[in-house]
Structure 1
Amino acid sequence: MRAEQVMTADPLTIAPDAPVAEAVRIMLDRRVSGLPVVDSRGGLVGVITEGDLLRRSELGTEKRRARWLEFLFGPGKSAEEFVHSHGLKVEEVMTRTPITVAPTAGLDEVVDVMTERRIKRLMVVADGRLLGVVSRADLLRALSGAFAAAPIPLGTGSDADLKARIEQVLAEKSWMPVSSINVEVQARTVHLWGSILDERQREAIRVCVENVPGVAGIVDHLVWVEPFSGTVMRGPGEAVD
């Protein structure tokens, strides 16, 4: 899927010369955490978010530095912070270089940028013009649609066919200890036998098997062998004498 397929088109925007108080009111009234800042020609010039409004003189939260730090950073940094905490127009407090993606960007790229830059939304831009916004909520809606459009089928075939499909899927995973795992299928219930060296592999194997069509249940007999001490931890389906 592409950004243009999941984005919110024609999002709420605000002008750069609008009062900061208006931006705050819109965000509260419309329950959004940020607004793209767009000029009269529709060009994206910035974004104002909740984070831009945390350091405000009205709240007494403006940043204060020790004298020696002001000397170290120089007057420019302190002047910039003063504008940010006292500015009354959106253009004075907004983030001027918002992170953007093209409408054709894949969702993998969108998520990579969001996680790496630790942001909640991305502006979708073409030729400098704002087309839409992709937020975490938009991604959740896309995920919900994917679940609804592709229900997990029950699957058909014999236990032997199901066993073969499971073994093929597991063999494709780089983290899978293929040589130490044995799969048995009885009436579409999968029994997992063998040993693992990392407890996280247990859950990954179970999730992988759950996603194979036709699986009715899983019984976990796997044992975890702690590599340093040799301690053996049995799976929930394995009785302890």
Structure 2
Amino acid sequence: MSASRILSQKGSDIFSVSPDTTLLDAARELTERRIGAVVVLSDDREPVGVFSERDLARALAEGGPSVLDQAVTSVMTRDLITAAPETDVDDLMSLMTGRRVRHILIVKDDRLQGVVSIGDVVKRKIAEAEAEAESLKTYIETA
């Protein structure tokens, strides 16, 4: 299964905040949407970073609650990890594991298509394993 197929099944909504959004407001966005990260988009809608629960936890641990008034640009992850829509699940999983990230931006022709999370990848891997097990069970029963 490819990244584009994952996006077509889960939806390609891109949840984002602007660079000047406070950590508190960004944390509220994560909570309300029940997601682990948002894309930080510039005024011209270009991705400039990703703000995640991990970024929030690190900022709070280092600076205490006063950091909640800072802009997400002060703590967001700037090193954007991207993949093409045709990237398959195994390659996405490998990229996430190797780079120690939980979200990958899917980009085609320099345009953001969506975000794939580790949860999306695990869900698809489980579905693949279940389908394979069912196929093997059916084969054994008919052999």
Task: Specify the TM-score bucket, using the shorter chain as the normaliser.
Answer: 0.7 to 0.9
TM-score under structure 1 length normalisation: 0.49
Q: 1:140 to 1:62 in 2, by over 3 A?
A: closer
- Over 3 Å counting, the alpha-carbon distance change for 1:152 and 1:123 in structure 2 is same
Residues 153-203 of structure 1: per-residue CA shift (max 9 Å, x gap): 555xxxxxxxxxxxxxxxxxxxxxxxxxxxxxxxxxxxxxxxxxxxxxxxx
Paired letter, 2:47: L
- TM alignment of 1:117-196, pairs within 5 A: 117-143=99-125, 145-146=127-128, 147=130, 151-152=134-135
Counterpart of 2:35?
Answer: 32
Equivalenced residue count is: 135
* Seq. identity, %: 33
- Residue 84 of structure 2 corresponds to which residue in structure 1? 102
For residue 215 of structure 1, report the CA deviation from its aligned partner: 6.4
Considering fraction of residues, name the structure with more helix: 2
Residue 44 of structure 1 pairs with residue 27 of structure 2: no
Q: Are 2:15 and 1:12 equivalent residues in the alignment? A: yes
- Aligned partner of 1:112 in structure 2 is 94
Look up the SS of the partner of 2:105 in the other structure. strand
**SS in structure 1 at match of 2:107:** strand
CA contact (8 A) 1:154 1:214 kept: yes
Give me the TM-score of the superposition, normalised by structure 2: 0.77
Cα deviation 1:75-108 (Å, max 9, x = unaligned): xxxxxxxxxx577111222111121111121222
Q: Which amino acid aligns with 2:118?
A: R
Unaligned runs of 5+ in 2: none
C-alpha RMSD of matched pairs (Å): 2.7
Unaligned 5+ segments in structure 1 are 64-84, 156-212, 217-241
Q: Which has the higher contact order (CA 8 A, sep 6+)?
A: 2
- In structure 2, how many angstroms separate the alpha carbons of the residues matched to 1:42 and 1:28? 23
Larger Rg: 1
Q: Is the 1:44–1:128 Cα contact (8 Å) retained in structure 2?
A: no
Amino acid aligned to 1:4 = S
CA contact (8 A) 1:87 1:93 kept: no
Structure 2 SS opposite 1:124: strand
Q: Are the aligned partners of 1:101 and 1:125 in contact in 2 as well (CA < 8 Å)? A: yes
SS at match of 1:55: helix
Give, in whole Å, the separation in 1 of the partners of 2:27 and 2:45: 21
Following the alignment from structure 1 to structure 2, what is the Cα–Cα distance between the partners of residues 34 and 86?
A: 16
2:24 is the alignment partner of 1:21: yes
What is the SS of the residue equivalent to 2:58? coil
